[in-house]
Each structure stands twice: as structure tokens, then as C-alpha cells.
Amino acid sequence: MSDKKMLKGGEFLIRETLAQDVFVPEEFGEEPRMMQQSCRDFTDTQVLPQIDQLETHDRELLTKMMKESGELGLLGISVPEEYDGFGQNFVTSILTVEEMGKGFSFAVAYSAHTGIGTLPILYYGTEEQKQKYVTKLATGEFIGAYCLTEADAGSDANAGKTKATLSEDGTYYSLTGVKIWTTNGGVADVYIVFAKIADDKNLSAFIVERTWEGITVGAEEEKMGIKGSTTVQMYFDNAKVPVENLLGDRNKGFKIALNILNLGRIKLGGAAIGASKAIIDNAINYANERKQFKTLISNFGAIKYKIAEMGIRTFSLESLVYRASQNIDDAKESFMADGIDIGKATVDGIYQYAIEASIAKVYGSEVLDYVADEGVQIYGGMGYSSETLVEKAYRDARINRIFEGTNEINRMVIVGELLKRAMKGELDLLTPAKAVAKELMGIPDFGDVTTDYYESKKKLTVNFKKAILMVAGAALQKFMATFKDEQEILMGIADMIMITYAAESMLLRVEKLEGMNHENVPYFKDMLEVYMYDAASKINKYGIDVVNSFAEGDEQQGMLMGMKRFTKSLPVNVKDARRRIANKMIEENKYCF
């Protein structure tokens, strides 16, 4: 990639990013905002008023709503115009996913269709396959689904046993097997199905139509939440799939699955932003109406704390998701400038930021879980009633920590992908890790204290990164080839990385917004102050736990001293800062940042 300002995936850990080089959602222009408004109108007028009916497993209603969203163009936001889409960039598609994320279980059906149901064909299909299927998926004529998971192949997706046997005349494959947890399965017209041809080591992918013989759609799964999305088992009994419906190359289906999961992960982060904002709005509305002890509960400090913290975490999530989404767009443009076609350029751009995509997925799903939980708590007893939207939001949120690869798997991916890229020479983690180790041996430098607001925050962020490099480098040296099996340590390091990425993304966003003279900068700074103060303590705790898990003696003491040095932050009056943030939202009666 030729642009020197553009950091490669994972490189944020070892290189400085400038505020001018990140994208913030406040920069969206008129056209993306119009598309966002279309999604908002559809969610407000078509989805939310019918959500209870949708949750009775009303497949007819779900089909109708999907078709209507297709007629409005909402299913083809990121599909090129030549396939009847709007041809918008990736970051705009995230904006629309955010807005649709407020639509509870319909958001799941929408995301599955526009993501894993459509994009494998768009990115890996032949021109004939794109013309035949993508055009219909973009307009809602077809509904798409994705059949990957099997009873014995969940996180280990490549262990799937579904078989594809080539006919003697070489004209079709016979597909036999059972797929589970197929989102949209009950209403889909087209399925992306993964199976192994003969004795192949890896999966291949196929485009399968519902009307073909040998295909049976199972009954609806009864789920904890997202009840309005259809989830079924799919049975394939010698289903005949024409050879021209092999998607991509034979034996390369697992790679397709992984790349599409990367895309789904960052989009899940986008949907979590929208869902979190909607819950905050509902919780504030309720707090501004509910009286206890002769006053509105929004006047209580304990409620203000919750509202502020929900807002801070959502703002941090939004900052990192849009930063990474624009990175993907920039990488895609760079690859295309080098002569790569748009499909491969997009896939390569998404893979380039696979680490950030996993961060967005894990961080986003856990922010949403926190927000949903506190939303119920603000409602009190009413929050436990199925009459309220927060009860539905609470149940619906839980699946996101399992979707698109569990959060545990994704934590492994964050660290594993960093190390893999370092081993391949794509990221130089060794040089900065050695520099940190050398710094620990020297005398601490306390003489370069800066009074500049952003420089002091950047120094703290740099120190967070040093803490990560210190413990990761030492742990790798200790365990070497078996490091990948030390899952507790890997997850601790992953948490340090996620918090640091969120803190830096937030810092760069606030700095950029001050340069744009944004009216809410004082509140943004309050959020940044609280977040970084808390981040220092959290990184310190994760770091200490990691160090104590493998180090002893002088090495242990040296790293514990280093952890204390790298996470030292100035005091912050978090009570007053949170109250200012909460009071602003309470006054506006909504999430207003």
C-alpha cells in the first residue's frame, strides 16, 4: 500500500496515528446521512411497530419486511451499481448498519442478508453468478442465508462433515449433510453452503437455491432472544448443485468463510453502536418520567453514573469502529490503485484489518451487553417486564458475544494475528518490544512532563502500548511454540490491546473534533478523561495478572514496576465529569453525542 500515512492492520500498536488521519462519524456528508435517514425511517415506521408480531415466528411478515427494505434500496447499499445496488463505500455501509441495529431481531435478518448472504457471491463469484444472484439479493427479490455451522463444527468450522460428490458426467455435485443455526434459513431463497468435495482437507463453497430437490428446511429454533429472526437446521439429501454454482475455487471455501467472518465482525460492532444508542434513549426517557421519593430518578447520582457510563462506552465503540471502517476503505482504494479488481481489493482490505475487526466485534458486543444490562437496571422492576423494549434488548444482546466467532476465539485472533504478521515480517513488533525491555533496565525519565492536553494523553496511550509490548514479548519468549496454548494469558493481552485501541481512537476523535470546533468538545473531553483514567487501572490489572502468570523473581519484579510506570495517570474527578455528561443527555432526553 503506497500511502505512507496509512497504517497497516495491527500497526497502531507500534506507530503513531495522527488525528487528521482518522475518520470520525461527524464528517459524514449529505448522501450518507440521507441513507442513514432512510434506514431510520424504515426502522421507526416498519420494524418497531411490528416487532412483537415478528417475534411470533411470522415468516410471512419477515419476508414482507425484507422485500420492502429491498424495494427501498436498503439491501444494496454497498453493492455496486452494475448489480442494482447503490455502490457506497464500506464506511457508509457501517452507518446504515448502525441505524438498522436499532431494529432488534430484524437487524439480525438484515445483517445476515446484506453481509454473509450476499457478499460471498459479490466478492468471490463469477460474473455470471453475480448477475444471476447479487442483482436479486440487492433488490430483495431473493433473500440470502449462510450455512456453515454443524453440530460438531462450531468454532472449528473447517471440521464440517457435509459432503459434495461430483457426478460421473461432471455436471453437478450431490450435497449431503446437516447445517445448524442458519439465520434467515426459514425465509431464504439462496444459501451459501460449505461442504468438502471428496476427501478434500478444506471446505468448498456452493450457491444453493431453496427450490432444488433434496433440500429440507427445519423447524424454527426456540431461542433466548432475536426471536423475530428465523433460525433453522438445513438438511441436504443428495441435493443436486450445478457445477457452475461452485463459489470460488475448490478447497478454498474455508478462506471465504474466514474473510466473510472478518467483515461480519466489524459490521456487528456497527450494529452494536445503534442498538446501544437506542437503549440509552429509552433509559433516559424512562428516567425523565419515573418518580421515586418525590423526584425524577434522573436526578439521582447513581442513575447519572449509569447514563454517563453507557454514553462513554458507546462513544468509545463508535470511535474505533468508524476509524477501522475508513481504514478498510483506504486499503481497498490503495489495492485498486495497484490494479487489483474491486472484489479482491475489498476482501484484501478487510483482511488487512482483521485484528481491528475482531476488536470491534468483541468490544462492541460487550459494550452492548453492559448498556442493555444497565438499561434494564434503570427501568427497575419494569425492565424485567416483556412489555418494555429494554427487556427485549437485554435478551437480544446476548447472542452477539457468540455470533461471528465467540469472543474467546476473537480474543485469540487479535493476539494470534499480530504474532503471525510479526513472524511473516509484515509487522516489526520485535524492535519496539526490545526498546521497552531496554527502557525497563534504565532510570525512569520523569523530566519530560507536558502541560499540553493532547500530548499528555498521547504519552499515556504510548505507555499503554509499552505495557502490552512488555508483557507480550516476555510471555512469547517464555513459552515460544506453546504460547498459543496459554489462553488465559492471550485473553489478558487481548483485553489490554482492545482498551488501548479504544482509548487511542477516542483520543484522536476528540482532538479532531476540537479542531473542527465541535460544540460538544467539553463533554467529549470529560468522556475521554474518565475513559483513560479507567483504562489505566484496567490495563494495570490485566498486565499484572499476565505477569504473575508466568514470571518469577527479578523478572517479575521488574515487569511489575514497569506496569506501574506505564499505567500511571493523573487523578480525575470522575464523579463531576460523569455528572456533566449525564446532565447533558438528561437535558436533551437522548444520547446526544
Q: Residue 154: phi, psi to the nearest 5? A: -100, -95
Q: Is 460 exposed, middle or buried (0-12, 13-18, 19+ CB in 10 A)?
A: buried
- Residues paired with residue 56 on neighbouring β-strands, in sequence order: none
Q: Is 191 exposed, middle or buried (0-12, 13-18, 19+ CB in 10 A)?
A: buried
Q: 551 to each of 10, 461, 476, 559, 560, how far by Cα in Å? A: 26, 25, 12, 9, 10
Pairing relationship of beta strands 163-166 and 190-197 according to DSSP bridges: parallel
Q: Which of 356, 404, 417, 504 is catalytic?
A: 404
CB 204 within 8 A of CB 250: yes
Listed residue (275, 225, 264) closest to 48, CA to CA:
275
CB 286 within 8 A of CB 391: no
- Residues paired with residue 234 on neighbouring β-strands, in sequence order: 179, 217
- Residue 404 falls in the annotated catalytic set: yes
Listed residue (315, 331, 355) closest to 498, CA to CA:
355
Q: Residue 196: phi, psi to the nearest 5? A: -100, 130
The amino acid at residue 333 is: E
Tally helices (H) and strands (E) across the chain: 20, 10
CB 353 within 8 A of CB 331: yes
Pairing relationship of beta strands 231-242 and 172-183 according to DSSP bridges: antiparallel
CB 559 within 8 A of CB 551: yes
Contacts of 481 (CB under 8 A, 6+ apart): none
Measured between alpha carbons, how far is 400 from 218 in angstroms, rounded to an integer? 23
Q: Which helix (H) or strand (E) holds 58?
A: none
Half-sphere exposure of 258 (CA within 13 A, CB side): 18
CA 517-102-491 angle, to 5 degrees, is 80
DSSP string, 275-325: HHHHHHHHHHHHHTT-EETTEEGGGSHHHHHHHHHHHHHHHHHHHHHHHHH
Contacts of 402 (CB under 8 A, 6+ apart): none
CA 204-208-212 angle, to 5 degrees, is 135
Catalytic site residues?
A: 404
